[in-house]
Structure 1
Amino acid sequence: MRVALFLTCVNDTLYPGTGRAVVKLLTRLGVEVDFPAAQTCCGQAHYNTGYRHDAEPLARRFAGVFARYEAVVTPSASCALMVRELYPRLGERARAEGRGDALARTLAPVAPRTYELTEFLVDVLGVTDVGAHYPHRVAYHPTCHGLRGLGLGDRPYRLLRAVRGLDLVDLPGAEECCGFGGTFALKNADVSAAMGADKARSAESTGAQVLCAADNSCLMHIGGTMSRLRTAVRPVHIAEILASTEEEPAA
């Protein structure tokens, strides 16, 4: 199977190791992974801030770049949600505004073929044991886009429970938002910081060494808070855990 990796802006700029982990993991599972260099932002930041017309050129570009692939895999629940759920709304809005069906027709093929990493592993490849080894105590934070948007459910938990050596612990208030929310953290900084502190303290209370999630944007927010609070918990993307093996030191 040949798929494309949609790395996303945050990962490309700040967390390239997550992208390398996805390639390593999928290659180990027999998947051929391409990285189309022409990929850019999916337009989520524009859309969520109200600049929906400005998101359309980015959506068209995404559709063109990834059109030839059987599947598009991304280590970001929020960006997967943008493509799957909000690209169709862009097409519907263009139609409602009397601009025809061209945008909807352009975006329709790529939206259902775009997957967040854990749902691709479980739903498309049909695997939960990916051959990983990660001897650490880990808590999982289900991000809002993954939990309430994509409905990832227990997929990440099933993958983590199958990792050899990993001790998965429950996170108090796991389904509560961490306070990042993209531009929410900028526009409502005090509220965002308080929510982040609550999440960081919850993670620390578990005795976990690692807090993982399916979005590095949320981990960046929580990780910054944990650093300021001087907790011993490290933020690690789930892809990096699943890519770890006994042959290499765990991240």
Structure 2
Amino acid sequence: MRVALFVTCVNDTLYPRTGRAVVTLLERLGVRVDFPAAQSCCGQPQFNTGYRREAEPLVRRHAAAFAGYDYVVTPSGSCAAMVRDHHPRLAPRDTAAAAVAERTYELTEFLVDVLGVTDVGAYYPHTVTYHPTCHGLRALRLGDRPRRLLAAVEGLRLAELPGAEECCGFGGTFAVKNAAVSAAMGADKARSITATGAAAVCTVDSSCGMHISGILARQGSPVRPVHLAEILAATKETHR
């Protein structure tokens, strides 16, 4: 199978280790991963802010960059939802956009639904709590896929997060336009995370992890954010 990594802007710019973790993980599972250099932003910031016309060229660019691949895998629930839900409607005459949208999978979907695995051979000897991000929970309906993957990680103890399904308050440009509300929501989420006693909080979206991370730091919390891909890519060798 031909598999391409759609790394996303946030990961490429701020969290490249997440993209590297995806490649490490998939290669360990026998999947060869390509990285199309022509990929860029999927247009989600523009679309969410109301600039539909400005998003359309990015949709066509995305479709061209990932044409020909059997699967496009991304470590981002929000970007996967953007491609699947909105790209075909933004470019209705572009058959390539619709085709790429159908072949796009968030990482946990690809692992569980396509590869058929939950135990990926990971080792992570820490207590972790899981925050289901809004796009993963409501748009993609990831369900228990992330939790099933975490439950199979050797050494990991999963701590339940109170109010797990409540939004962290990020919401992309929502955090900029409604800063006070966003910060208040994030503060509630961060306090709930700290109360679990976990060493780390896991998400499937680096953008939400970034928002939560900043608030945890301001509250003086010892909990660190980590992307699910980084946990699944970890082994006993990486912890030595």
Fold equivalence (TM over 0.5): yes
Structure 1 residue 109 displacement after superposition: 0.8
Equivalent residue number for residue 56 of structure 2 = 56
Structure 1 residue 88 displacement after superposition: 1.8
CA distance in 1, matches of 2:50, 2:239: 44
Contiguous gaps of at least 5 residues in structure 1: 93-101
Structure 1 residue 108 displacement after superposition: 1.3
Q: Deviations over 1:120-159 (max 9, x none)?
A: 0000000000000000000000000000000000000000
CA distance in 2, matches of 1:89, 1:206: 41
CA distance in 2, matches of 1:66, 1:33: 12
1:119 aligns with 2:125: no
Task: Assess if the C-alpha contact under 8 Å between 2:59 and 2:91 holds in 1.
Answer: no
- Residue in structure 2 matching 1:223, options 188, 213, 232: 213
| Count of aligned pairs | 240
CA distance in 1, matches of 2:126, 2:85: 35
Equivalent residue number for residue 73 of structure 1 = 73
Structure 1 residue 91 displacement after superposition: 3.2
1:176 aligns with 2:166: yes
- Residue in structure 2 matching 1:145, options 135, 147, 154: 135
Q: Deviations over 1:51-71 (max 9, x none)?
A: 111111000010001001110
Report the residue type matching 2:188 in the other structure: D
- Residue in structure 2 matching 1:187, options 177, 200, 224: 177
1:245 aligns with 2:210: no
Equivalent residue number for residue 26 of structure 1 = 26
Structure 1 residue 2 displacement after superposition: 2.4
Report the residue type matching 2:88 in the other structure: P
Task: Assess if the C-alpha contact under 8 Å between 2:67 and 2:96 holds in 1.
Answer: no
Equivalent residue number for residue 17 of structure 1 = 17
Structure 1 residue 200 displacement after superposition: 0.5
Root-mean-square deviation (Å)? 0.9
CA distance in 2, matches of 1:226, 1:144: 19
Report the residue type matching 1:124 in the other structure: V
TM-score under structure 2 length normalisation: 0.98
CA distance in 1, matches of 2:2, 2:186: 38
TM-score under structure 1 length normalisation: 0.94
Equivalent residue number for residue 2 of structure 1 = 2
CA distance in 2, matches of 1:78, 1:179: 14
Report the residue type matching 1:65 in the other structure: A
Question: Stretches of 4+ moved more than 2 A in 1?
Answer: none
